[in-house]
Amino acid sequence: MSAAFNLTPRQHDALGFIAGYIARNGGAPTYVEIGAGIGLRSKGGVAALVYGLVARGRLRKLNNSNRSLTLCDDLSAPRELPAHLIARLGSYCRRHGERFDAVLADAVTFHLDEMEREHERDADVVSAGGG
Q: Which amino acid is at 12?
A: H
**Cα 78 from Cα 30, distance rounded (Å):** 28
For 76-126, how does the pLDDT look when each residue is reduced to its tens digit (9 = 90+)? 334 456 778 888 888 888 899 988 878 888 888 888 889 888 888 887 777
**Cα 86 from Cα 63, distance rounded (Å):** 25
1 within 8 A of 100, measured Cβ to Cβ: no
Nearest of 79, 80, 104 to residue 90 by alpha carbon: 104
pTM here is 0.54
Give all strands (DSSP E) within 1-131, no chain letters. Answer: 59-61, 69-71
Q: Which residues pair with 60 in a beta bridge?
A: 70
43 within 8 A of 66, measured Cβ to Cβ: no
101 within 8 A of 2, measured Cβ to Cβ: yes
Q: What is the CATH number of domain 9-127?
A: 1.10.10.10
For 37-71, how does the pLDDT look when each residue is reduced to its tens digit (9 = 90+)? 999 999 999 999 999 998 888 898 887 778 889 88
